Amino acid sequence: TYIVNDACIACKYTDCVEVCPVDCFYEGENMLVIHPDECIDCGVCEPECPADAIRPDTEPDMEKWVEFNRKYSELW
Ligand code: SF4
């Protein structure tokens, strides 16, 4: 899965949302998140992000970001 990290805060350039084939981005007041169970891991959103805020969960120490994205995608 892909997740959004804090580099998104106050960016919210929403081209990632436009390209996602399964519509799994959720928008909060100051950032976006991805629902980790809905993301199909296609990767098309990653190059669209000018803030480099969308990362694959295969990078080190991503657990807290996966949980953050899950929590807020269910709240928003
Ligand atoms: Fe959507 Fe694909 Fe990005 Fe997952 S990797 S959030 S499915 S565009």
pLDDT score at 11: 85
Determine the distance separating the centroid of ligand 1 and the alpha carbon of 65, expressed in angstroms.
Answer: 15
ipTM, two decimals, is: 0.96
Which of 23, 39, 46 for a ligand 1 pocket mutation test, highest count of atoms within 8 Å of Cβ? 39
On average, the pLDDT of the chain sits at: 96
SS3 31: coil
User: CB neighbours of 22 closer than 8 A, spacing ≥ 6?
Assistant: 38, 39, 40
| Dist CA 62 CA 27 (whole Å) | 20
pLDDT score at 12: 74
pLDDT higher than 80, residue 10 = yes
Determine the distance separating the centroid of ligand 1 and the alpha carbon of 64, expressed in angstroms.
Answer: 19
**CATH class held by domain 2-75:** alpha beta
Q: In the Cβ-directed half-sphere of 50, how many Cα atoms lie within 13 Å?
A: 7
The more confidently predicted of residues 11 and 3 is 3
Nearest CA to 3 out of 28, 27, 31, 36 is that of 36
Give the nearest ligand 1 atom to 20 CA. 8
| Dist CA 51 CA 46 (whole Å) | 10
Domain definitions of the chain by residue range = 2-75
